[in-house]
């Protein structure tokens, strides 16, 4: 059994700050490459024009010729927006799973998130099932503190490790459009499969860092605002005060566990 990381990267024309994206992707790849177990491979799915950092071992680049996601700008409501997002991302994920094995675990990783160095070692040592990351951290780039959360998977897409046959894309029984959208979402799969053991188990330690972004920093957020869709935003003052007890310092151990740095 191997963990198959898939990192789908949107078309370069949909990125407002390409230098920032490149720096964050470099951190994501370092986080994956620092896994304490070698039972993993990774696939970065990109358009040929995408600029990439140095590619770690056990990582391949899968080029796709997908157009810019112009449907975002044309979306008239939240449903059309989510459809446009998921169809584009789902096609990229599907391309990254062209050689997936039946006994693999699939983890879709957004290009700015970070994962714990022992995640692969943990799931590889346990009976095979679907895993949900509910414990993790919110973090703003450059900050010296993180906020612990028990609801990581409510907000972050980098929160599932999925046996391929859980997905309608491989199991069948759903439309092609629904299957592709399910690959792009960390929530749609639970419309078909109950979010209960033995199908799913929680990872028992904080296993991911979700990078908070400022409002309006990407074309995606601009499109979301235009149709009134919810956009992740920095916590307000009241929320911050209530969350003080959940704050953790950015220690050397945290950098080792999530950033691949001693």
| Residue 113, C-beta contacts closer than 8 angstroms, at least 6 positions apart | 28, 156, 157, 158, 208, 209, 210, 211
Dihedral angle over CA of 166, 116, 122, 232, nearest 10: -30
**Residues near 70 by beta carbon (within 8 Å), at least 6 away in sequence:** none
CA distance 109 to 56: 15
Predicted confidence at residue 245, as pLDDT, reads: 86
What's the pLDDT score for residue 192? 86
Taken in order of first residue, the domains within the chain and their CATH numbers are 3-259 (3.90.550)
Tens-of-pLDDT digits for all 262 residues of the chain?
899 999 999 999 999 999 999 999 999 999 999 999 999 999 999 999 999 999 999 999 999 999 999 887 788 888 889 999 999 999 999 999 999 999 999 999 999 999 999 999 999 999 999 999 999 999 999 999 999 999 999 999 999 999 999 999 999 999 999 999 999 999 999 988 876 667 899 999 999 999 998 643 444 544 544 445 455 566 677 776 776 888 999 999 999 999 997 5
Beta strands in 94-191 (DSSP E): 105-108, 114-115, 130-132, 136-140, 145-149, 160-161
> Residue 130 has which token pair?
């679907």
Q: What is the pLDDT of residue 250?
A: 96
Claim: this prediction has a pTM higher than 0.85 = yes
Q: What is the per-residue pLDDT for 219?
A: 45
């Amino acid at each position: 059994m191997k963990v198959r990381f898939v990192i789908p990267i949107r078309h370069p024309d949909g990125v407002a700050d390409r230098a920032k994206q490149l720096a964050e992707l470099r951190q994501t790849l370092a986080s994956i490459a620092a896994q304490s177990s070698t039972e993993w491979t990774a696939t970065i799915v990109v358009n040929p024009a995408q600029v990439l950092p140095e590619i770690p071992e056990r990582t391949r680049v899968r080029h796709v010729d997908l157009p810019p996601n112009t449907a975002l700008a044309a979306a008239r409501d939240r449903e059309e927006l989510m459809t446009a997002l998921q169809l584009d991302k789902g096609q990229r994920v599907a391309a990254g799973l062209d050689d997936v094995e039946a006994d693999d675990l699939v983890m879709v990783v957004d290009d700015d998130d970070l994962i714990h160095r022992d995640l692969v070692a943990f799931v590889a040592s346990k009976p095979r099932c679907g895993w949900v990351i509910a414990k993790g951290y919110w973090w703003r780039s450059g900050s010296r503190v993180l906020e612990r959360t028990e609801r990581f998977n409510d907000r972050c897409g980098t929160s599932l490790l999925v046996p391929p046959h859980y997905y309608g894309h491989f199991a069948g029984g759903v439309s092609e459009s629904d299957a592709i959208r399910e690959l792009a979402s960390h929530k749609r799969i639970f419309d078909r499969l109950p979010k209960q053991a033995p199908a799913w188990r929680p990872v028992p330690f904080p296993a991911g860092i979700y990078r908070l972004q400022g409002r309006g920093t990407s074309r995606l957020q601009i499109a979301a605002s235009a149709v009134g869709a919810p956009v992740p935003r920095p916590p307000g003052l009241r929320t911050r005060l209530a969350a003080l007890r959940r704050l953790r310092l950015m220690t050397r151990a945290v950098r080792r566990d999530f950033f691949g740095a001693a």
